[in-house]
Structure 1
């Protein structure tokens, strides 16, 4: 395998578990705010929101502790998966990290962008949530996972993982093919095209797989029996499944 490195466990911030979206009734119980930005130092408490300028998308800090994103039909599009933590708040920290913290000030979820002081979150008219640096560069967005995919995290059609330096993406295409790209050039794929609606998932047994929308496996890394394993998109263009201890288990050899 090419350019595989042993990873220190504390080197990256893991993302939250797969999203847990609340009901439409929960979304309706919040107080809608017209502002579309969450700026450095600002906090969203339970019941507080940010809304896109066109009024079609709503980011809500729910009473159950989940930070969730809805469209105008009150359909859940994304969440931090932090329900079950009443009293939690979302904080746009001065260091650039967006964090959901419990009532006891324990970090429950974050964007992992703590090295970008002055960054802010924007609820956009196109249905995306984007965290921009103070210079306007995108640092995080709801449709992408950055560098790492942890246990039980999924890539739905159109979603992707991007390397830390933004040069490579692993894209779950709408046609069912999982593709590693560099500047729109395909470097590797799972060869699962022709399966519209397929998705990729980093399973909690350590296997990274592409499934049909009916959850039939189409392709896997064959790395099961490794609970806690994760997928890393490296800055050298290589996709690697590492064990919880940082041992390489599979690579795209790109």
Structure 2
């Protein structure tokens, strides 16, 4: 029922606001999500409700995206059928951005503040839609949608920008109903309304991120919050790795078209924009709202405008998308490179062509913003296959033919030469895969946002754990139960030293897990080989920089036979030969903990909390 209602709303919206192209015979595939809200049992009728929406990442002014809050108006004795409505905000493919409220059934309205307007229409049943384009919504601003019964069954909508503390009355609609039904279809959703085009795909839609606040209802003067009943993805994309819905700090953070770029201009070094001139790419004056200048670099490597793909054939046309190798590109070091070749898109004003990659400024481009990996991981070029322990931290990289194994040795995470990341058991049975075998080569690493990700050689994201709310560092583990888990790390102890010039290594720093010991005379080094943690014969535990002997940290403990251990309770302790504590990190209670000698020379103890897991 919800999906049907949402599709009907989207169809009307697309017809009235965005497309002016008539109805399509078929629909395309686009991302999307739904959040169903649940209200406390004491909320039996709603006459005053406030939703909130913040677009964290603007998909671009040429995007066609709708962030909406849907509701049902309860039936009454005099009006025995419920009514469906929605209110929200859109980016309209180059037209002015819009706030609106629409309700099916009524046909009487009142205008709001200056610049508001209302429409009557019919699709299945009559509807009224009141709107404004007088406000140009901005990413990063939170907008509250306050819908209230103003009396005599008139429901009015006021928009408040909480960032600037300004309000705007959109309009009022005579509904013939008294209240919103808390048990009805109260759902917030994100719609890419290019689903109306049969040419739309999940890889040609722009990346966006938005925060939906918990709806607040006024019950007898008491503010009462809804909670999340359930969430789901739009299910148009298969496998659906393009949407993530995550509850963060009392809100719901939604990402769609993950790993695509936003929709925006491609500029050459002279500031000219790439224009799709009826299938021929040309360079010209930039115009923010010209749809022929809105490009998306998709997760599949296609550079797309209006559902057509930049193609490396004669004339470099913008042609029908086929998935052919001539339509797969990467963006690296400012160059647009055809994948698997040394050929670069080259400005030859007023046209473009493809030439061997070089240092020419005519091969330097700026692209629409891509959801950045911000990777500091080591390149896999000419890397020697390596066998890892059961963890991966920032700075470490899994390259082709690398293997990471569980502590028991019964499970193995393998980077295959065909570009797939697979989990196998002791009998070499495949248990899980990233399904990235069409992309070669690949590497796995911890991104700056804390997620474990898989990227190709052009650093283009192919797959990730796609969770939010990481507080800092993270670790990716393969466990003895066969589970893969990405943990958020919290610093519990730090030696306080950092050498930013030390650089990083592919294999990362040395990690102590619970039970690990360092006895007299033993030493371990950081992954880059520039720092050592040593239990000296004197009993002092020290971190030294190997190039000059500089002491970056020491416990100042003395006694032959001293040893250090990371205990099961999370405390890192230096004991005497007779097991008397001499020094400790004061981290008892961090039962999920690891100690890391980082490549910058810092000795850090982390506790960890699961954020993503295979099961």
How high is the TM-score relative to the length of structure 2?
Answer: 0.20
Higher strand share: 2
* More relative contact order, 1 or 2 (CA 8 Å, 6+ apart): 1
TM-score when normalising by structure 1: 0.47
Q: For the pair shown, which has the larger CA radius of gyration, 1 or 2?
A: 2
